[in-house]
Amino acid sequence: MFRSLRHRNYRLLWLGQTGHSASLWMDQVARAVLILELTDSAFVLSAVIATRLVPILLFGLIAGAVADRYNKKRILMGTQTVSLCAHLFLGTMVVTGAIEVWHVFATALVAGTAMAFNQPVRQALIPATVPPEDLMNAVGLNSAALSFMRIGGGSLAGVLLIWFSVGGVYYINAGIYVFVILTTVLMQFGPAPARRKESSLFGDLGEGFRYIAANRVLGMVTGLALILFIFGFPYQQVFVPLLAKKTLDLGNSGVGFLAGATGVGAFAGSLFVAWKSGVSRPGLQMMINLLIFAGALMAIALQATVAGTVVLLAVAGSMTVTFTAFTNGILLQNSDPQMHGRVMSLLSLDRGLIPLGAILAGTLASSIGIRPGLFVMGAVIFVLSATVLLFAGRTLAGIKGGAAAGGHGARHHAPPEASPAGAPPPAERRTA
């Protein structure tokens, strides 16, 4: 289950991802507390959340082209340094009493921009740190870090807020980024291959669109991800709080309790992917996960007990993270290494459309009710997924997993070889 961690570069990348994820979830909790202290407005809180997500829509695709064009390690260093400075600034404003609402919005925009460039690079670096037979395992462990910190990062922020002010939490967050930057510095890669000088950044972006359009597997997988991000992910942002407070009468603490159930399921699902990284038909497995997820949402809508809701939310959380992990693995395995950044940025663009789904979910909940609205969202996912499976099931079944991936990416990696004493194995020296 943890075999990818034996590779030094991946181990450092994974530790950095863990720290980065912890910081993101701590920031989400601390920023919400701060803006509510300043304004006591749910609308302003939602505006801050949207401000943090807008850069993914604005810069997501450009970030992928940048990741493929320039040194990935340096991009990580730059984005993490920007995040460090933003946390230090916000913490200082709070501690000195100079904090204003616009500071929260400005730093949310800066942090969101750094995240828009950071995540495609992190995903694109995974194949450069492990041999192809460990790629799906590495993707699963990466998802495990994200899922665990969904639980641990937010909980840690809540505990720290007992003893520290919001400003103190942001100073601790900045300290976490010092650790993340250190893990990036310690990674060692060989020199990147020479690039064509005549190509421009926007030329690279257009090349990425043409590449994805010509690859049926990449287009299908990113399209399926769009179904999940628009109609699926809002269940946690919109329906979980509504179920806790309006339907199950669990109060504010119940929101965290139900969200924790989805996080536990997500963590378990990511470990499953790391354990079962040799799935021979990841395309079909991805569709099965999506159908089970849709069924779980419809079952939650029909469920009247707290215990049943918790179990079904854990199932839903498990299905979303396994779907996403298989999606990441398929995209990386079926694309050329020089296209990884642009391919993964398209998935980030899909993720940037989550607010659109949240608006749809909120509209349904307010117009036809919480449970009926959730049932409709689940039914839409089920119908769309079943339709894709009906008309493209053969293509999905043909997508290979593991080292035998049937795309371009797998064949560009050399197998591990013996290295001189003291030298990192070839998997550690791949270009970035």
CATH code for the part of the protein at 201-410: 1.20.1250.20
425 against 62, higher pLDDT: 62
For the chain, what is the mean pLDDT? 77
Superfamily designation of domain 1-133+149-191: MFS general substrate transporter like domains (1.20.1250.20)
- Say if residues 381 and 290 touch (Cβ distance below 8 Å): yes
* Percent of the chain whose pLDDT exceeds 70: 78
The domain segmentation of the chain, as residue ranges, is 1-133+149-191, 201-410
pLDDT tens digits for 332-361? Answer: 777 777 777 777 766 666 666 776 777 787
Residue 414 pLDDT exceeds 50: no
Residue 85 pLDDT exceeds 90: yes
Q: Which long-range contacts (CB under 8 A, 24 or more apart) does 44-47 make?
A: 44/101, 47/105
- Phi first, then psi: give them for residue 353, nearest 5 degrees: -90, 0
Question: Count of CB atoms within 10 A of residue 415's CB?
Answer: 10
SS3 sequence of 236-253: HHHHHHHHHHHHCCCHHH
Count of CA atoms in the C-beta half-sphere (13 A) of 422: 0
pTM of the entire structure? 0.66
Q: Measure the CA–CA gap between 261 and 254, rounded to whole angstroms.
A: 11
Q: Measure the CA–CA gap between 249 and 243, rounded to whole angstroms.
A: 8
Confidence of residue 131 (pLDDT cuts 50, 70, 90): confident
- Say if residues 302 and 375 touch (Cβ distance below 8 Å): yes
Q: Do domains 1-133+149-191 and 201-410 have the same CATH topology?
A: yes
pLDDT tens digits for 104-114? Answer: 999 999 998 99
